[in-house]
Amino acid sequence: MGHLYLLSIVMEAGVAKRRVHLSFPGKLKDEPLLWHTCERFDLVFNIRQADYTEGMGWLMAELEGDAEQLEKGIRWLEEQGVIVGPIEQDVVQ
């Protein structure tokens, strides 16, 4: 998956914000990968919506922090096997 969607990072008061849809297939659904990402890359997350079913977990979240660290964090999640997609609109008010 390419990183073209990273162009839609929003900057507010020097902080980059990115809305993402994360899918955690297989055993990844049991791992605290979002927490590890935020600790490792000094990011803050806000879970907007989530669900867990047999064999798959997913969530919609807003991540924020330094733009470079945000990009690295998203790339790290993908390297761990998380399926990362953009959320273009705020579907949860």
Q: Indicate the class that CATH gives domain 4-86.
A: alpha beta
pLDDT at 13: 65
Find the Cα–Cα–Cα–Cα dihedral 64, 65, 70, 74, rounded to 10°: -40
What tens digit of pLDDT does each residue of 3-49 get?
444 444 556 667 899 999 999 998 888 889 999 999 999 999 999 99
Q: Is 20 exposed, middle or buried (0-12, 13-18, 19+ CB in 10 A)?
A: buried
